[in-house]
Structure 1
């Protein structure tokens, strides 16, 4: 199962574990990347969490305090950014008034969606205004929150609020349009959006296990476990499914990872002391993640 770690405000717009061990020997989804004379830090975020994630390890918070800037996917503490996301989310994630999701989805997929809505006491037809891609993302968001994890405890939001309080400059690694286009399906053919909805519904029974495993992996800094949590799926993929999954991964992760790695390279070249927080999948995913890309470029990379 691929859990898309999407924009917080986009998720909220659409829908309207374990104790933390701060032992200094504990590894985290946290890396120091260095060239000959400068370093940046990269922390993998989970956008939905709970109070058990805090307080964060001193090694992480010390690195943040001693950095000059905070780097994030998008500065969600900026009201103008939030407004732009909401406007673009409506344009990209919602169907025209003349269309309806229940008219787009194949009968078996619509039946599965209706069954899940009834199980979760969501009125039938709630998702009709959404494109298949956006509806699937929203279902994942609802499922995560049903497990007790909420956006107000998200790791990225924690550091954004801390940076604002400290007056620390915040730099966005992506533009609003880049992220919303990637995550809300701009240009995605119906076949791909429907496949994403079908696979989300099909793998929903595994979601609790996947979320539990992912949160444990974050708290223990276990990269292999985090990848396993992302890859849980209920059915083997056929050739067509594999192609569609590859296309989704390219849009949501791989192409964005390359851009993030290039940005980090620029920070190092300019000797900028930046503490970067991005979705953990960008740092720990199996295909061309940011950490591997930076290591391949010859930088020194240490998991902390």
Structure 2
């Protein structure tokens, strides 16, 4: 259907978006495109459409190659239109309620190669804050911490013990876990702590602090690690989650111990670990059968 000749109900909705909600021009333009698709799918009579018609329209779009995220955006737009039409008394119910777009595939970062990881972590810091950046990269790769867990660390014996070689964090759902540290991570942290003493603001407990001496933010960690990776020739971005993924992938490749990797990552479900490591179920089943004393059938 010609986008310039949309049904009156849709045109009124777009006017309401722009006038009443003060939506940006780009937002209204995006809504117009999605609602033009609705008008075409319903033969120019969107107010007469039912859930089955909308579901069929989404299925056709999916079959034509529209990505799950785009379908979700389209459905959200349609749902908003019908919610507004319901308030106007033009429809008896919202036919888009209860519909779900296909789930988007979970995109994971490409793990660093082992040699690439060694190269970027072995690079010598030049400027002062690069000592901190390298320590953060070492710690993320050594432990698989999430970036939120990293920035929440305090210089406290309950969180970090370099003599015993462990770090303890509170992850998702308040689950506490303790992860061992390797010698290179410990050495990098000792180097950082010597510099931290010169930077830290009075009373600040954070292990990693900014140039101003206050707790570093997740965004600050991300930007600094991307900078470090770019400087040392990493292909793609060296963001924190990529180091976590590399930790999991490399550890699983060398050990084959899925349960240990699950514990170290702080996953509540082994399915989450499966996603991180890009393993299929059959491979998981073989590991389970080989490792679990009561898994094999007689």
Q: Which TM-score band (shorter chain)?
A: under 0.3
Higher strand share: 1
Q: TM-score, normalised by structure 2?
A: 0.23
